[in-house]
Structure 1
Amino acid sequence: MNIRRLVGAAALALSLAACGASQSATSEADGTLKVGATPVPHAEILTYVKENLAEEAGLDLEIVEFTDYVQPNVQVSEGKLGANFFQHKPYLDDFNSSKGTDLAFVTPVHLEPLGVYSKKVTELGGLSEGATVAVPNDATNLGRALKLLADNGLVTLKDGAGTAATERDVEGNPKNLKFEPLEAAQLPRALDDVDAAVINGNYALEAGLKPASEALALEKTEDNPYVNGLVVPAGQEQDPDVVTLGKLLQDQKVKDFIAQKYEGSVIPAE
């Protein structure tokens, strides 16, 4: 190949790369918006939208289910998904910071109050000296779990511990509770082996637990920063399909569906 042809080929390759880079990352080539979600309640809510609202709004929606909190973000970052729906903003902020991703939180949808569950006791005061409490092992949900325990008088935290609190921030522990950090998805299965577990709402529901009636304690909902919502690559917030899905997820019909199906275990965002 001569120099002129080589330069021309290189220019064409750069042009194609630029076209690819400018193409929306939120939609598949056939116009389908592919959204990753954990099964309960996120995929269920998306399924309601797909079956009842999406067609009329001109949205072709594909739902991809995940059972962990990592791959949905990884795959949005890599362009394999256009969006995901499973997380709250504090978790997203920590993920972006620790993994070097650039994902944006665009639409609040619902709150899943974190709860304390047990098969050994019927009230938190019944936990014995040295009891083992399983907690989420990711940074934001661990801090959230410790705050829930603190709000219910089981521990006290150092001033300013905030959402990033760890076991090192536990200042008072009158029952000498032992904390067992586990991946969030494993917490329901740990109930047989520990005295209590602090479980994320989606995994509690998936395991057949009823947060509103079976949790020994639930997070307060007022001014709660842990509202779950739609997440996309930064820069894609105004993609037409993303805007459409965001509006549908905030539709009153979706709020009514959430309220009726989950009976207070999942709370629509205001």
Structure 2
Amino acid sequence: MQRTSFTRRGALGVGAAALALALSACGASGGDATTATPDPENPVVVKVGANPVPHARILEFVDENLAQQAGIDLEIQEFDDYQLPNTALDEGSIDANFYMHGPFFEAQVRDRNLEMEHGEGVHIEPYAAFSRQIQSVDELQDGATIAITNDPGNQPRALKMLEQAGLLEGIEDDSAALTLTDEQNPRGFSFEENQPEILVQIVDDPAVDLAIINGNYFIQAGMKLDDALVVEEISGENPYANFLAWREGERTPAIEKLDELLHSPEVKQYIEETWPGGDVVPAF
């Protein structure tokens, strides 16, 4: 397994140069991911972009325990934000990515004019709200400041979680924090939008009473659901299961095999044993 990390500061390095490198390296080890049938004697290299936790860790488990006998060789590239993995996929420097859920995928396809497809959900990371200022949401004062993602694919999800906690009312699939009506936000909470990857830092700001943080980021920061004041309810049908995605029309035999492995009993058991507290939950 080869593993590369990317951060926002490295974004300028991902583009034409990365695409040229990827194309020149195609077939350097193993088969060609675009056409080859997976073969344990000549594994097909599949380059997958993922957020570090839990996505890259799940892919590492697959690569170390399941991939070789299935005829694929994973090259995992880690990205610390939610935009670069789709940039890399669109440009062709990776074959697939593993970090999105349905509403975010749909927003990306619509807003960035991307041509992508995806498989079935693999796991869910419950959204959660944390605070350094209060011990319970019962202590939350009217007009309190709540930090929330600026990502339109995830913001309604965060607002619905607050509605489940009895803090908001009448939240719709297209609701936005900064345009809530008085009826939807009867207690007059003030919302502060931030990039999702920095919300784990914002929670320490004394001016912020509550911060709603994506599961992958609070897990990566060493936080757990046990520390949260509000946790998303994930029972029943849930649209937020993360899945493998690839360019439209390019579901190759190797990508199909990887998607199959991500839905294997071994992966389900790995998720349950690695995150027994429910921070990551199998979706199959």
TM-score by length of structure 1 reads 0.85
Q: How many Å apart are 1:26 and its aligned residue?
A: 8.6
Q: Which residue number corresponds to residue 49 of structure 2?
A: 36
AA aligned opposite 2:89: V
Identity %: 39
From 83, 96, 111, the counterpart of 1:98: 111
* Counterpart-to-counterpart distance in 2, 1:61 and 1:131: 46
Matched, 1:265 2:274: no
Q: Report the CA distance shift for 1:124/1:250 in structure 2 as closer, same or farther (over 3 A).
A: same
Q: Which residue number corresponds to residue 143 of structure 2?
A: 130
Which structure 2 residues correspond to residues 146-161 of structure 1 after superposition, within 5 A? 146-157=159-170, 161=172
AA aligned opposite 1:172: Q
Cα deviation code 1:66-113 (max 9, x no counterpart): 000001011111111100001101101110100011111113110001
* Counterpart-to-counterpart distance in 1, 2:230 and 2:145: 16
From 198, 204, 224, the counterpart of 1:192: 204
Unaligned 5+ residue runs, structure 2?
A: 1-31, 37-42
The answer as to whether partners of 2:44 and 2:71 remain within 8 angstroms in 1 is no
The answer as to whether partners of 2:170 and 2:184 remain within 8 angstroms in 1 is yes
Q: Which residue number corresponds to residue 180 of structure 1?
A: 192
Q: Give the structure with higher Rg (CA).
A: 1
The answer as to whether partners of 2:72 and 2:254 remain within 8 angstroms in 1 is yes
* Counterpart-to-counterpart distance in 2, 1:25 and 1:38: 23
The answer as to whether partners of 1:26 and 1:232 remain within 8 angstroms in 2 is no
TM-score by length of structure 2 reads 0.81
Q: Which residue number corresponds to residue 203 of structure 1?
A: 217
* Counterpart-to-counterpart distance in 2, 1:65 and 1:25: 21
* Counterpart-to-counterpart distance in 2, 1:243 and 1:100: 24
The answer as to whether partners of 1:26 and 1:82 remain within 8 angstroms in 2 is no
From 220, 234, 239, the counterpart of 2:248: 234
The DSSP-based 3-state class of the residue aligned with 2:121 is strand
The answer as to whether partners of 1:26 and 1:33 remain within 8 angstroms in 2 is no
* Counterpart-to-counterpart distance in 2, 1:93 and 1:31: 29
From 213, 218, 229, the counterpart of 2:231: 218
* Counterpart-to-counterpart distance in 1, 2:111 and 2:81: 17
The DSSP-based 3-state class of the residue aligned with 1:187 is helix
From 112, 116, 129, the counterpart of 1:116: 129
Aligned length: 242
The DSSP-based 3-state class of the residue aligned with 1:140 is coil
AA aligned opposite 1:202: N
Q: How many Å apart are 1:157 and its aligned residue?
A: 2.8
Q: Report the CA distance shift for 1:26/1:131 in structure 2 as closer, same or farther (over 3 A).
A: farther
Unaligned 5+ residue runs, structure 1?
A: 1-22
Which structure 2 residues correspond to residues 5-44 of structure 1 after superposition, within 5 A? 31-44=44-57
Q: Which residue number corresponds to residue 3 of structure 1?
A: none
Q: Which residue number corresponds to residue 166 of structure 1?
A: 176
The DSSP-based 3-state class of the residue aligned with 1:246 is helix
AA aligned opposite 2:83: V
Q: Which residue number corresponds to residue 71 of structure 2?
A: 58
Q: How many Å apart are 1:269 and its aligned residue?
A: 0.9
* Counterpart-to-counterpart distance in 1, 2:59 and 2:92: 20
